[in-house]
Structure formats: C-alpha cells, structure tokens
C-alpha cells in the first residue's frame, strides 16, 4: 500500500499540469504533436513518390561487350546444335570405317 502505481502518478501529473500549466497549454501541446505527426507522414509519402519517379526514369544499364540474355541463350543453343551435328557426323564415319 505504500507504493503508487503508474495510474496514480499519471493522475497526479494531469492535475498538476492543469493547475499550474493552465487549460490552454495542454491542447496547444497536443495540436503541435498532431501537426508534427502529420508532417512526418507527408514526408514519408513524398519520399515514396520520389523513389517511384526515380525508378520509372531509370533505364537498365547495358555493359559493353556482354550479350543480352536472349542473345546469349540463342548463341548457346546454336553452339550446342553445332557440336551435336559434329558428333553425329564423326560417329557415322566411324561406323562406315568399321563396316567396310
């Protein structure tokens, strides 16, 4: 019973603020706090819009000397086809030589 809970301290603090601070200071503090929160939210929205605009304007960068994905996959498939054709031809020659 000798200790006070947080609720006791909050009530005492509210009474002291009203008595010594006056009735107009608390609403003014709350108004300032609310406008600060609104300014913060507006700043976050502006940053998001700016980031989206930057992403839309940015073009993909191309490194010289490197093929794009479609070009490299086409080159790989034609290389694989050529090696398969060469293997088939050499196998046919080996069979003909072995058979006669």
The pLDDT value recorded for residue 19 is 77
User: Residue 68: which residues within 8 A CB-CB, separation 6 or more?
Assistant: 62
Indicate the Cα dihedral angle 72, 75, 79, 84, nearest 10°. 100
Greater confidence, 97 or 83?
A: 97
Tell me: pLDDT of 41 over 90: yes
Which phi-psi region, left, alpha or beta, contains residue 67 (left: φ > 0; alpha: ψ -120 to 50)? beta
- Could you give the CA distance from residue 18 to residue 52 in angstroms, rounded to a whole number? 47
What is the DSSP-derived secondary structure letter of residue 3?
Answer: S
pLDDT digits (tens, 9 = 90+) for 50-86: 877 777 676 666 677 765 555 555 555 566 666 677 7
pLDDT score for 72: 52
Tell me the average pLDDT across 41-55: 83
Residue 73: the pLDDT is 53
């Amino acid at each position: 019973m000798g200790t006070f809970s947080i609720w006791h301290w909050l009530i005492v603090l509210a009474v002291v603020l009203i008595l010594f601070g006056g009735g107009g200071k608390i609403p003014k503090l709350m108004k300032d706090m609310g406008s600060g929160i609104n300014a913060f939210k507006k700043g976050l929205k502006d940053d998001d819009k700016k980031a989206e605009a930057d992403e839309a304007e940015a073009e993909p960068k191309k490194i010289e000397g490197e093929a794009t994905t479609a070009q490299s996959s086409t080159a790989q498939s034609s290389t694989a086809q050529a090696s398969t054709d060469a293997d088939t031809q050499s196998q046919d020659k080996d069979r003909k030589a072995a058979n006669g």
